[in-house]
Amino acid sequence: MSADHVAGGFVGRWFDLLSEHAPVDQLLSMASATDLEMVFPERTLRSHRDFRDWYATVGDTFTDQGHVVKELDARDDADRTDVTLIVVWTATRRSDGARLAYRVNQSWQLIASADTGAPVIARYRVLSLEGI
């Protein structure tokens, strides 16, 4: 199976869960518990605890979130898969009802979970945001 196919399914599931504002543990099962770095414009996360806090803040700040993957490229490299993607993120800001839309360039690194062998996010970087 191709790296694009495997990563595409994983990425799609991740963004579906974010869009649904699924319980945080569902997302944490997809993130490395021991080797995590997620770089967002507002904050860098290095643990599941950091992610829980960030996710609660995002949930309090935004509603009606949507994520649509526009481009995805994945490359296997020894013990990891490097992913570059563009996602369109839309949301409504709770404080004033403003509707937001951004084109977000990201790079991810997926590794095999030490516990299950399933892919998990080790590195997640927002490279740029462009309002649309």
CATH classification at residue 27: 3.10.450.50
What is the spatial distance between Cα 96 and Cα 104, in angstroms, rounded to a whole number?
22
The mean of the pLDDT values for the chain is: 94
What is the spatial distance between Cα 121 and Cα 108, in angstroms, rounded to a whole number?
7
Confidence of residue 104 (pLDDT cuts 50, 70, 90): very high
Q: Which pTM does this prediction carry?
A: 0.93
pLDDT at 2: 62
28-46 residue pLDDT tens: 999 999 999 999 999 999 9
> 3-state SS of 10-47?
HHHHHHHHHHHCCCHHHHHCCECCCCCEEEECCEEECC
Query: Could you list the residue range(s) of the whole structural domain that residue 44 is in?
Result: 3-131
How many domains is the chain partitioned into structurally? 1
